[in-house]
Structure formats: structure tokens, C-alpha cells
């Protein structure tokens, strides 16, 4: 699928670091029954699935569709357990896990998870958990205390949101780890509000299967896309409602923010094929930016001015011409128009960072600033390498 490069997000922060029926909970609205578990059309949209009365993002992969588990009330074959230990001691983190229940209006409801960052009740979660909420209620899983919550700020580009619990004080906070130290094969545990059940956090244990992964996200209409990059991939079987919950290492520290999972299987098979978490260092960087500028839109990042799609040979972002808005591979008057970049060229590096896909180019631009001079490297169709210095422009919101 093609699209113009996505307007970008904020620059880097300079600071430090019972029943098996998932529709049975109070507030959920049941859809017409579907045969079996997760029929194929939920993944490939042929035909399109029925609309749900709860917010849900879909992550589109090459071979599978990755489901963002915010408030989906749809059934899942993945069965997590409650009250069972995962990898290492999670007690310290469990004391700082919250269930998030969101009223969407019209009788619809949604559920997600959050992590307490401060004793005064600042909570970290995914943007898609609260994006459509009209009223937000947050419950501390350790004590059962419930608070109304307001949104401090959200960053849709990076799928991060920060909430403030009203009247909270003296709360336990989650011990944070270093997500840059995460390695393939590490044991991890995902904690969350699986299927919106509430109570003690559901536990989903697994291992890290890849790091630095890129995925492309769309809402259920398939029209509004965002790119999530640098993700930690695991085989921990997270479920709808686990979004915004902690991914915990064997030392009992949070190393990721559970965000998405895929499911390319049909039939009642247990386990998710892949699960994805935003590295906690990344999530906290954007959380600090949001806390520093409450109720303000995050900076839009920078713009190069090209229409690109994935390239595999060479690996990078291929400039192309297609349907609107990509009627030209290079936008007139853009920074890229001041170079020799043209349709058929493949961008492989920007500002010293490798470009391996459209999503990775988008991520780099999200973290750049307008007016910054950067070096762009590309290959033309004959295989010759070129480079040029460009001054980036402000991204269009």
C-alpha cells in the first residue's frame, strides 16, 4: 500500500531515561456470532469485518495483520492465566499496574492497561487505549481503588499517552529497566487487563524473539496509518485489553509497553504468533515530552517531501509516483526537490541512520527537527550511489 511519508512526531527527549466468553463483561456490546475463532477475514479483510463498538487499531504486516490490543472486545484463542508467576519476580511491577476502562459513548466501552509512573497518579499507557474515550476510569489492581482520570497529553504517532488520576497520592510506582539491554532469547512477562476482566493482572510469559522491529498501524477503517518502529517482538500471548501494560524482564523491571499482537492462525490454537512492545526507554522519552507540554500537540517533526514504499533490493524506501497524494515522487518546493532524487531511486540512509523500509524513514523524520541539515543517501535504478545534504522542512500536521 502506498502513501506519502507520514507527518512526524516529537524529537528525542534530552532527559534520562472465570468465563471464557470475552463478550461477557459488564459494558461490552456483543456482535453477531462468528463461526469459530478469528475467521480469516479478520486478518485479510476479504470481505471486510463487521464494525465493533470498541476502539481497535490494526497493524498491517507483510504476511499477517497485527492487532493492537487496546479495547477490542472480539474473541481470541489466546488464554492467559492470572496469579501465576512468569519470568522472574513481577510483584514490584504488579503493584503499579492499573486497569483502564473507557466509555466511548452510545453504550460502548473499552478496556486497557496502564503503568503508574509517579506516586501522585501519573499513568503511562498507549494512545489507542484512550484516544476515543469520553470518560476514563482507572483501577489499581493491587488495592481495587478506583479513580477518574484525565488525559495529560497523547502522542498518536508513537502510540503513547499519559493520564492523571484524580485525587491520587502515595501510589506504588513501577521499577523501570533498561530496554537497550534487551536481547533475543531473554525471558519476559506481559501483565495486563486481558479481555477487560479486571482484578489481578493476567500473566503472559514468553521470550524475546526479535528487537528493532517495524510495523505499520491503521485504524479499523484502514484509512489512517501510523508507523511504529524499534519494537520489541516476543511470543508472550497477550490479549485484547493488555495494551498499555508492562513487559517485565527476569529482574522484575519494566522493559516495554505492550502494544500489539498478530494472529495469522485459524482455529482454536493457543498463543499469539507475535507480540510487540514499545521499548520502555522510548515510551518514557515521549511520556516526558507529553508531561512537559500538557494539552499541547506534540511537535510535528520534519519533512523530506517524497512519496515512498518499501524496497527489498536494495533494502530501503523506494520513491514512486502513483495516485493522489503521490502524483509526484518528489513534492515541488520540498527539501528533496533541491536534490537529484527521482522516481525509482531508493533511499538507504538519512542523517547517518539506516533506512530499511518506508516505516524506518518515517521514524527517522519523526525524530528530526525542521531546519536541520542532514545527509540523504540513495541508489538510482542503475545501482549507482548518490548523496546530498538537505535542510528539512516542518512536517504538515
Beta bridge partners of 148: 137
Q: What is the pLDDT of residue 148?
A: 95
* Cα–Cα distance for residue pair 159/191, rounded to 1 Å: 18
DSSP at 227: E
Q: What is the mean pLDDT of each run of 10 residues along the chain (397 residues)?
A: 36 36 32 27 23 38 40 30 50 94 78 95 93 87 95 89 96 96 96 88 94 67 61 90 94 94 46 80 94 78 90 91 88 94 95 85 83 95 96 82
Position 65 scores a pLDDT of 39
Q: Cα(19)–Cα(34) distance, rounded to whole angstroms?
A: 18
Predicted TM-score (pTM) above 0.95 = no
CB distance 88 to 249 below 8 Å: yes
| Per-residue pLDDT tens digits for 161-213 | 999 999 999 999 999 999 999 999 999 999 999 888 888 999 999 999 999 88
**DSSP category for residue 329:** S
Smallest CA-to-CA distance from 76 within 27, 28, 29, 34 is with: 34
| Active site (annotated) includes residue 243 | yes
Instruction: Please compute Rg for the chain using Cα positions.
Output: 21
Cell of 166: 484524580
Which of 87, 157, 227, 243 is the catalytic position?
243
Q: Residue 216: what pLDDT?
A: 62
pLDDT of residue 199: 87
SS3 percent helix, strand, coil of the chain, rounded to 5, is 10, 35, 50
Provide the 10 A C-beta neighbour count for residue 103: 16
Helix (H) or strand (E) holding 377: strand 373-379
Spatial distance between the Cα atoms of 208 and 225, rounded to a whole number of angstroms: 26
DSSP string, 43-85: HH-SSPPPP-SS--EEEE-SSSEEEE-SS--S--S---EES--
pLDDT single digits (tens) 54-83 = 334 444 433 333 444 443 332 222 223 333
Distance (Å, rounded) from C-alpha 75 to C-alpha 31? 10
pLDDT of residue 79: 26
Catalytic residue among 159, 186, 258, 367: 159
DSSP 8-state class, residue 330: B
Domains of the chain, CATH where assigned: 3-10+300-394 (2.30.42.10), 31-299 (2.40.10.120)
DSSP states of 264-306 as a string?
---SS--S-S-EEEEEHHHHHHHHHHHHHSTTSPPP--EE--B
* 128 has catalytic annotation: yes
Q: Is 158 labeled as catalytic in the residue annotation?
A: no
Catalytic residue among 128, 157, 214, 351: 128
Cell of 232: 520489541
Cβ partners under 8 Å of residue 53, min gap 6: 29, 31, 73, 104, 106, 107, 108
Amino acid at each position: 500500500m502506498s502513501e506519502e511519508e507520514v507527518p512526524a512526531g516529537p524529537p528525542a527527549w534530552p532527559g534520562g531515561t472465570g468465563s471464557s466468553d470475552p463478550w461477557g463483561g459488564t459494558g461490552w456490546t456483543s456482535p453477531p456470532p462468528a463461526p469459530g475463532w478469528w475467521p480469516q477475514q479478520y486478518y485479510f479483510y476479504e470481505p471486510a469485518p463487521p464494525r465493533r463498538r470498541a476502539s481497535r487499531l490494526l497493524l498491517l504486516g507483510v504476511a499477517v495483520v497485527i492487532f493492537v490490543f487496546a479495547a477490542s472486545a472480539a474473541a481470541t484463542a489466546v488464554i492467559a492465566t492470572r496469579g501465576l508467576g512468569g519470568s522472574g519476580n513481577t510483584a514490584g511491577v504488579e503493584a503499579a499496574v492499573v486497569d483502564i476502562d473507557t466509555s466511548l459513548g452510545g453504550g460502548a466501552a473499552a478496556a486497557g492497561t496502564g503503568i503508574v509512573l509517579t506516586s501522585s497518579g501519573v499513568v503511562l499507557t498507549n494512545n489507542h487505549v484512550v484516544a476515543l474515550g469520553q470518560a476514563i476510569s482507572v483501577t489499581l489492581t493491587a488495592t481495587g481503588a478506583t479513580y477518574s482520570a484525565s488525559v495529560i497529553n497523547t502522542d498518536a504517532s508513537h502510540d503513547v499517552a499519559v493520564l492523571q488520576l484524580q485525587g491520587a497520592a502515595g501510589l506504588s510506582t513501577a521499577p523501570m529497566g533498561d530496554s537497550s539491554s534487551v536481547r533475543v532469547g531473554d525471558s519476559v512477562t506481559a501483565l495486563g487487563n486481558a479481555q477487560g476482566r479486571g482484578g489481578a493482572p493476567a500473566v503472559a510469559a514468553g521470550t524475546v524473539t526479535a528487537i528493532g522491529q517495524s510495523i505499520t498501524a491503521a485504524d479499523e477503517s484502514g484509512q489512517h496509518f501510523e508507523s511504529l518502529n524499534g519494537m520489541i517482538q516476543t511470543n508472550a500471548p497477550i490479549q485484547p485489553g493488555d495494551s498499555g501494560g508492562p513487559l517485565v524482564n527476569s529482574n522484575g523491571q519494566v522493559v516495554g509497553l505492550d502494544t500489539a499482537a498478530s494472529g495469522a492462525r485459524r482455529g482454536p490454537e493457543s498463543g499469539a504468533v507475535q507480540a510487540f512492545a514499545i521499548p520502555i526507554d522510548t515510551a518514557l522519552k515521549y511520556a516526558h515530552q507529553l508531561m512537559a507540554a500538557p494539552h499541547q500537540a506534540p511537535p510535528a517533526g520534519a519533512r523530506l517531501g517524497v512519496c515512498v514504499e518499501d524496497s527489498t533490493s536494495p533494502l530501503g524506501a523506494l520513491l514512486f509516483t502513483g495516485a493522489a497524494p503521490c502524483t509526484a515522487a518528489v513534492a515541488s518546493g520540498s527539501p528533496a526537490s533541491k536534490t537529484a532524487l527521482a522516481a525509482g531511486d531508493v533511499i538507504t540512509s538519512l542523517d547517518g541512520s539506516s533506512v530499511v523500509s518506508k516505516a524506518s524513514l518515517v521514524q527517522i523524520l519523526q525524530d528530526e527537527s525542521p531546519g536541520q541539515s542532514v545527509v540523504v543517501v540513495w541508489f538510482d535504478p542503475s545501482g549507482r550511489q548518490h548523496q546530498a545534504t538537505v535542510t528539512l522542512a516542518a512536517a504538515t500536521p
